Amino acid sequence: MSAVRVLVVDDDPIQQRILTSLLARWGYEVETAGDGEAALQRLEASPAQLAIVDWMMPRMDGLELCRRIRAELNEPYVYVLLLTARTQRDDVIQGLEAGADDYLTKPVHHGELAVRVKTGRRIIDLQRQLLATQEQLRLQATHDALTGLLNRGALFDALGREHARARREGRALSLIMIDLDHFKQINDRWGHPTGDEVLRQAAQRISTACRGYDLVGRYGGEEFLVVAPGQDGRSAEGLAERLRGLFVDRPIEIDEASLPVTISLGAVTLAPAVEVEQHDLLKAADDALYQAKREGRNRTVVGQL
């Protein structure tokens, strides 16, 4: 379990030292701030998972700090333990309504502090697990399970965003459609597990050759699609030829088998200020790909809009 970073916010240097010493002894990473404004700056620069906040402080008190944390720092969640000498029920309600998760009355009992902080840590750990699960579900929903690339649905969504941006900003947008040549023969001769490994390795070669902001996805079967924002026609053709070169005379190695694989590519570019719908852009790239296959495969054809 990774260490939890705790921010102690208190303008009393003696109380601050006591809390810091206790928390460090219990295995927490501790930072300090003398008032709410300094604490907010710390949290914005390097978020702590848990904050122990004194109510009464100069410039920005604990209640206002709680409100600002909830309004301005959404992720990651900061668990706030409010320290107060106020013991009236209305005061406690006011603190919780401001955004505190828990409260502790002064003078602070060390055993109670330890238990309250452990409670906060459990909440933090549960949140980490929830965020990890959400990220895993997001990846499953948007990425192809076999290759790890964007799946067809996510690829279309991303293309829609880039197409709209290209129109709005007057930028070029290129598409490169890719197909593994004679892939059925690989499945027929070597079996589908080998075919799957060919797809995985091909996807890796393609994605590593593209720019970090290019979008690469599995279009379907043995077809892949590269969406290249800002690439003009010449650049797109150059990228397509670089991709093709990654397979020429470079067999895919699987166990003891060396499988020669080539690819055919269809490239098309939407020039700035040209009005073409998304489906027509995809069709032009697809038509160029099939022309490459008809002309003998292992080649790039640049399509026209």
Enumerate the active-site residues. 222
- Sign, CA dihedral 105-106-107-109, equals positive
**Which are the contacts of 33, defined by CB distance < 8 A and separation ≥ 6?**
7, 8, 9, 39, 41, 42
Strand partners, 218: 224
C-alpha distance from residue 134 to each of 73, 131, 139, 297 (Å): 19, 5, 9, 42
How many CB atoms are closer than 10 A to CB 279?
A: 9
Cβ-contact 100, 81 below 8 angstroms: yes
Which phi-psi region, left, alpha or beta, contains residue 182 (left: φ > 0; alpha: ψ -120 to 50)? left
According to DSSP, the β-strands at 223-229 and 173-180 are antiparallel
Enumerate long-range contacts of 119-122, CB under 8 Å, 24 or more apart.
Answer: 120/50, 120/79, 120/81, 121/4, 121/49, 121/50
**SS (HEC) of 189-232:** HHCHHHHHHHHHHHHHHHHHHCCCCCEEEEEECCEEEEEEECCC
Q: Output the DSSP codes for 86-152.
A: --SHHHHHHHHHHT-SEEEESSPPHHHHHHHHHHHHHHHHHHHHHHHHHHHHHHHHHB-TTT-SB-H
